[in-house]
């Protein structure tokens, strides 16, 4: 659903991410008909089957690494507990000034967990800055 703000900007709002009370308020206030519920088996349903730990190479809900991807190239990875069976998950790859490390990844965990994204940080992506996040 799209909302137009007073300044003319448009904001996309995913109703299924809201608590039921807020969703009902918005639908009633703006006199909007609720969108049809996703059909059974649709991987976009919020009640889609969570991914089994048996089906992934790294622990769900924990930062793993460093993992060697090529000689001299390593990364850390976070697979969220919110991954769903059969649903594609976007990959957020971030590079920090002091290299990718678990401390620097912490600030992104609530967002990637909420949206079901995979987070990766390259360890060697530094520019010589001091690493205060270890």
Handedness of CA 18, 23, 29, 32 (dihedral sign): positive
Angle at 37 between CA 34 and CA 40, to 5 degrees: 175
Quickly list DSSP for 58-116. Answer: S-BTSEEEEEEEETTEEEEEEB-TT-BTT----EEEE--TB---HHHHGGGHHHHHHHT
Handedness of CA 87, 88, 94, 99 (dihedral sign): positive
Residue 120 pLDDT greater than 90, yes or no: yes
Residue 72 pLDDT greater than 70, yes or no: yes
* pTM of the full structure: 0.60
pLDDT for position 78 = 95
Tell me the pLDDT of the chain averaged across its residues: 81
Residue 128 pLDDT greater than 60, yes or no: no
Residue 10 pLDDT greater than 90, yes or no: no
Element (H, E) at 122: strand 118-122
Give the whole-angstrom CA distance, residue 60 versus residue 133. 22
The tens digit of pLDDT for each residue in 76-112 reads 999 998 888 878 889 999 887 777 888 889 989 988 9
């Amino acid at each position: 659903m799209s909302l137009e703000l007073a300044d003319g900007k448009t904001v996309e709002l995913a109703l299924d991410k809201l608590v039921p009370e807020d969703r009902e308020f918005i639908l009633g206030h703006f006199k909007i008909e609720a969108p049809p519920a996703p059909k059974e088996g649709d991987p976009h349903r919020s009640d889609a089957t969570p991914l089994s730990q048996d089906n992934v190479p790294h622990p769900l809900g924990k930062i793993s690494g460093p993992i060697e991807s090529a000689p001299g190239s390593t990364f850390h990875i976070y697979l969220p507990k919110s991954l769903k069976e059969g649903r594609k998950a976007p990959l957020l790859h971030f590079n920090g000034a002091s290299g990718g490390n678990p401390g620097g990844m912490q600030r992104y965990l609530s967002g990637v967990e909420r949206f079901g994204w995979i987070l990766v940080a390259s360890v060697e992506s530094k520019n010589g800055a001091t690493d205060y996040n270890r």
